Chains A and B, each alone.
Chain A
Amino acid sequence: MTQSDGDLSGIRVLDLAAEPGFFAGKVLGDLGADVVKVEPPEGDRARRRGPFWGGVVDAERSLLWLALNTSKRGMTLALDRPRGRELFLALAERADVVLETEAPGSLAARGLGWETLHARNRRAILCSITPFGQTGPRAAWRGSDLTVVATSGNLYATGDPDRAPVRCSLPVSYYHGGLEAAVGVLFALLARDQSGEGQHVDVSLQAAMVMPSIGTAAMFRMTGQRGSRVGAFMHAGRTIQREIWPCRDGFVSFALRGGPARVPGLIAMVAYMDEHGMASARLKAIDWKSYNHNLLTQEDVDFLTREFGAFFATKTTAELYRAACERSLMLAPVNTPREITGSPQLAARGFFVDVENPGRGTLRYPGAFAVTHGARVAIRRPAPRLGEHTAEVLHAHGLAAADVERLRAEGVV
């Protein structure tokens, strides 16, 4: 694992976040911040959640925990006890950022809210990630990935027309919201250089899920389009066009829409089909110079769909993607982790990294989320074991070994 400094080297983060905030802390850690995960003595809930590595139910083998808590150190602290709260505030006095995902008002009710934090450390930034935000008519609502995606417009427009709206089976709002929170932390750090003061950064997962519809929400006032579910298709122009196509052994993503930028891919695809004797005279006769997907009739679309669909049915995803890379077909396979881990492109970029998890072995991870000179973005350490760095963090804070032992005996850490 690389040990080069990141852009956030020297920035100290106290990370109280549960699952919705795991990703925020991870990306800050990958950027070089010293992120200390603060868990209750019994450990974060995610540690008790499967799937478990090797199927062994163990707090140190939860794959969700291991996946999204890399680049963090870890300590335990009982925030429901006065001594634990006192210790937390003492640690926060030296922190740059506190990250949390509790219900609005919950930290404040325990004397750990923004006002207290700001009074103890004028430079500290508190970043709160909640389903709907810190204030407002729904601030007190419970929420999770399903319900915040439900209130974003995105869920309604995803899925098949004859069934309920459907979400992605992993919580994309936590990735979107985590990134939004990390951007908020960075902006607050930049602002602190000017003002000398930290801020409370309030991220709403619901609001974070509006942008992923790429402007469709704002466009409603101009288009009147409320969204509708068309399965593996998309509305385009006056028609409904296929986006995800079955092929011999799976599915590929390919589209007729996309404006002039798509046309070279369509021309290349017809040429490729023709080499296999599968481009009809009518398909080859299309004048691509005047092609505009917005002006197609549904009959045009159905014709193109039959032609392309019949060809894809004869090819595997691997064959089609190889051809797409060589011929610029603008087509991609619907990948699973099997294809992703076998990708020559990702291998050439050294994307995957093997992370040693002490006492459990090595696990292959997706590595840096971006490439910079000197590998400034990197997984810096494995996800922490429960309380792994408690003593280390408290010693650095000036507590003697005997103090730490006493705290342990009292159940504070």
Chain B
Amino acid sequence: MTPLFEGMRILEFGGGAAGPIATRYFADHGATVIRVESRRRPDFLRILRLTPTTPGGVDGSAHFAVLNPNKLSIALDLSRPEGVALARRLAIAADAVAENFAPGAMARWGLDYESLVRERPDLVMISTCLNGQTGPDRAYPGFGGQGSALAGFNHLTGWPDREPVGPFGTITDSLSPRFAALLLAAALLHRRRTGAGQHIDLAQVEAGIVCLSESLLTYTANGEILTRMGNRSRHAVPHGVFRCADEDGRDRWAAIAVHDDEDWRRLAGALGRPAWTLEPVLATVDGRRRHEDEIEARLTEWTATRTAADVAAHLQAAGLDAAPVEDFGDLHDDPQLAHRRHFRTVEHDVLGTHPVETHAIRFSAMEPRIERPAPRLGADTDVVLRELLGIEAAELDRLRAAGVLE
């Protein structure tokens, strides 16, 4: 079957995580995603962990490689008018343009929506940054860590008696590409129906705050600030992560969520009805909340002598919500992710064979496909310019000699 987006071209400016993850959704269903890169100012992820001894240099970044398979890379010097002119021709020929530079950068090159739309009236373009394209703090520079803090995620993560933490992985960098993919897809659907394009201004902080609407409303309605509460829940007791028997010298844990009083009776049964579980006060969630420390200590006594896998399997068999805590290595042995073929393998020039992730959607009549590793910087400059813009070999040589093609 022909991939959904076969023949569609998306031009991508910028880098890091938030932009590039968004276009992967389209690339994995057949779109040609062309990254416009620079050798003088390489993508953040190409150089984040770079040292003078990194094999492959800017082409040897594992982080870049796992986020950017299925894409092409061209290297243009956008400080030269001829470089900008080429980028502009590609943008006008593309079905969509995605960028995550600081606000104003695209305008300085004349590659912003207002400039491009004059030549491409039905342009679909998304710009994403932390604070958005307008407002007094639009130029504020920051990374995902700052976005997570501004949107309110850090305050909600960690222990009530300790400083805030994570969540691991700067969460606005992972929420915003999902919003971006959704918005781009909706804009493409709309253009298909009406012929009209649009410019989308996605502020990562705002999108994150929308996710936390429950917390915001609790404040605007009641003046109450929800705060981090470890793994406990306002609705379920016990609700936590319990130490299990160590394995291979590693700490192992199981997550257990007892959602209601019926779950509590199931848990008591699964534990063999020890006397403490039969205390009448624990039969209701309010009673259990008053004795939460004690319940957690008792449960830990039970889990500590068992493996996390055994705890989860035993409790699931009793109809309970429980799971082993898996580390990043464990995911590669996870039977459910294996069943969904979550990880796929590519062959990379510098890094060799390595896994990449797919998205979390499985369709009954489509399959995500990973057909090529992440590109070396500028690996596809010639083929893209020749095939899309019809630029001949001699002209490519001239542009390269002039430093326009990096």
User: Could you tell me if A191 and B366 are in contact, using CB atoms closer than 8 angstroms?
Assistant: yes
| Complex Cα–Cα for A7 and B185 (A) | 10
Contact of A218 among B134, B169, B201, B354 (CB under 8 A): B354
Contact of B146 among A176, A208, A227, A331 (CB under 8 A): A331
User: Could you tell me if A63 and B134 are in contact, using CB atoms closer than 8 angstroms?
Assistant: no
User: Could you tell me if B340 and A371 are in contact, using CB atoms closer than 8 angstroms?
Assistant: no
With contacts A164-B253, A340-B152 known, is A330 near B146, CB below 8 A? yes
A324 within 8 A of B: yes
B330 within 8 A of A: yes
Q: Which residues of A contact B324 (CB under 8 A)?
A: 150-151
Closest B residue by C-beta to A49: B235
List A348-369 residues whose CB lies under 8 Å from chain B. 348-349, 351, 363-369
| Complex Cα–Cα for A202 and B226 (A) | 32
User: Could you tell me if B214 and A7 are in contact, using CB atoms closer than 8 angstroms?
Assistant: no
B381 within 8 A of A: no
Q: Which residues of A contact B146 (CB under 8 A)?
A: 253-254, 330-332
| Complex Cα–Cα for A57 and B64 (A) | 50
Majority DSSP secondary structure for residues of A touching B: mixed
Q: B298-332 interface mask toward A, CB cutoff 8 Å, 1 = contact, 0 = none?
A: 00000000000000000010011111111111111
Identify which of A50, A157, A159, A370 gathers the most chain B CB atoms within 10 Å of its CB: A370
With contacts A170-B212, A179-B179 known, is A186 near B157, CB below 8 A? no
Task: Give chain B's interface residue range (CB within 8 Å of chain A).
Answer: 35 or more
User: Could you tell me if B362 and A332 are in contact, using CB atoms closer than 8 angstroms?
Assistant: no
Binds A, one of B70-78, B215-223, B384-392, B393-401: B215-223
B104 to chain A, nearest CB (A): 13
List B15-56 residues whose CB lies under 8 Å from chain A. 17, 21, 25, 29, 44, 47-51
User: Could you tell me if A371 and B201 are in contact, using CB atoms closer than 8 angstroms?
Assistant: yes
Q: B366-379 interface mask toward A, CB cutoff 8 Å, 1 = contact, 0 = none?
A: 10000000000000
User: Could you tell me if A226 and B328 are in contact, using CB atoms closer than 8 angstroms?
Assistant: yes
With contacts A147-B255, A190-B185, A201-B363 known, is A164 near B241, CB below 8 A? yes
A393 within 8 A of B: no
Q: Which residues of A contact B250 (CB under 8 A)?
A: 226
Closest B residue by C-beta to A137: B335
| Complex Cα–Cα for A346 and B202 (A) | 13
Q: Which residues of A contact B217 (CB under 8 A)?
A: 63, 66-67, 363-365
18 CB-based A-B contacts, threshold 8 Å = A7-B186, A63-B222, A151-B326, A160-B162, A169-B226, A170-B214, A172-B153, A187-B4, A190-B185, A201-B364, A216-B169, A217-B332, A227-B168, A335-B155, A349-B203, A364-B216, A369-B202, A377-B183
